A and B are shown apart, each in its own frame.
Chain A
Amino acid sequence: MNATRIAAWLTVPARWYLGLLFVAACLHKIADPHSFAIDISTYDILPLSLVNLAAITLPWIELAAGAMLLVGWRVRTSSVLIAGMMAVFLAALMVALARGLDMSCGCFASQGADEDPISRLTILRDLWWLGLALFVLVFDRGLVGIDHLLDRRPE
């Protein structure tokens, strides 16, 4: 078994992990978009007119991408979505840290800054998830899941 093949198999647990992560992260945001809107607003990056729209739609994109990774359907497409979202989240985090904002990241259940403050560790954590998404994007060969059942292998 060569290195590419091993990497292809490693993408399976990686995408399950990412899929679970994103599905878990979106549930409270879908259930309580108002709290998520406050979290987005705290970053003070988006104009007010876009805050609610982002709070309503973003969790559903997370849900779609996470679920697609979990069931192995169009894995590379969902990896692109997750990598894109992680890049956006990372940029927002860096801006907030650069501004010295003492706040929660709002990534999971809304928490106060005392419980889950943003820090350089949050950046490292998000970089790790971004790396995993890119790993899946590059090495996925449709080994397990719906893509496999449909014999839909990435080129």
Chain B
Amino acid sequence: MKWCSLLAEAAVVAATAAAAALVFNTVRPNGGLPLIARTPYQVLVPCPEPGGAVQPIPADDPALSYDRTFLIDARPAEEFNRQHLPGAVHLPYDWLDPVPDGDLQQLVEAIAASGATRVAVYGDGGRPDNGEHLGREISGRGIKNVFFVSGGAPELFGVATP
């Protein structure tokens, strides 16, 4: 059988089955499913969690002061300018304004080029903690040994984030 006639026959079978389906749907006891949905279905698909695994690290962990620890501050610029750990790179993580893809990629490249053996991110220490989530995004881009400071900046500096 030639391919064209095979495809034509398949189309006829599909059309016949579809017609039977429509007839069956019409004679269903409850009137069947409307042919066109009027309102969107409520589908509950959880938002994809960004990235990979991160581990908590206490604020007094000596690893935070090691040369080969890449420090990242996820707080807003105002708080970063007020106080931050020496050498920390600033990349604010705002729940309502996702980090631009280019900025994140640039940071990941900087981490890869730095020769650091671990990455430590600190944020506002809230629940959820923006430092932890920035860490997940970084980890999800293939960076290993990503940690977040448990309790965030308030634990590090002893002051509550406004």
Q: A59-B21, A60-B20 are in contact. Are A81 and B13 (CB under 8 A)?
A: yes
Chain B residues lying within 8 Å of A64, measured Cβ to Cβ, are: 13-14, 16-17
How many angstroms from the CA of A151 to the CA of B43 in the assembled complex?
50
Q: Does B16 lie within 8 Å of A80, measured CB to CB?
A: no
Asked if A61 is at the interface of the complex by the 8 Å CB criterion, the answer is: yes
Asked if B24 is at the interface of the complex by the 8 Å CB criterion, the answer is: yes
Of A33, A44, A63, A80, which one neighbours B33 at CB under 8 angstroms?
A33
Of B16, B18, B37, B46, which one neighbours A51 at CB under 8 angstroms?
B37
Q: Does B6 lie within 8 Å of A76, measured CB to CB?
A: yes
Chain A residues lying within 8 Å of B45, measured Cβ to Cβ, are: 42, 101-103, 113
Least distance between A125 CB and chain B CB atoms (Å):
21
Q: Does A56 lie within 8 Å of B13, measured CB to CB?
A: no
Kindly supply a per-residue 1/0 record for chain A positions 41-76, scoring 1 wherever the CB is within 8 Å of any chain B CB and 0 otherwise: 110100011011101110111011100100000101
Q: Does A60 lie within 8 Å of B17, measured CB to CB?
A: yes
Q: Count how many chain B residues have C-beta atoms less than 8 Å from C-beta atoms of the other chain.
A: 27
Q: Does B14 lie within 8 Å of A61, measured CB to CB?
A: yes
Chain B residues lying within 8 Å of A5, measured Cβ to Cβ, are: none
Q: Does A61 lie within 8 Å of B17, measured CB to CB?
A: yes
Q: Does B41 lie within 8 Å of A77, measured CB to CB?
A: no
Least distance between B52 CB and chain A CB atoms (Å):
13
Q: A48-B37, A101-B45 are in contact. Are A56 and B9 (CB under 8 A)?
A: no
Q: A42-B45, A65-B13, A77-B9 are in contact. Are A52 and B36 (CB under 8 A)?
A: yes
B interface, CB within 8 angstroms of A: 1, 6-7, 9-10, 13-14, 16-18, 20-22, 24-25, 32-37, 40-41, 43, 45-46, 48
Q: Does B37 lie within 8 Å of A80, measured CB to CB?
A: no
Least distance between A51 CB and chain B CB atoms (Å):
5
How many angstroms from the CA of A76 to the CA of B7 in the assembled complex?
10
Asked if A84 is at the interface of the complex by the 8 Å CB criterion, the answer is: yes
Chain B residues lying within 8 Å of A48, measured Cβ to Cβ, are: 36-37, 40
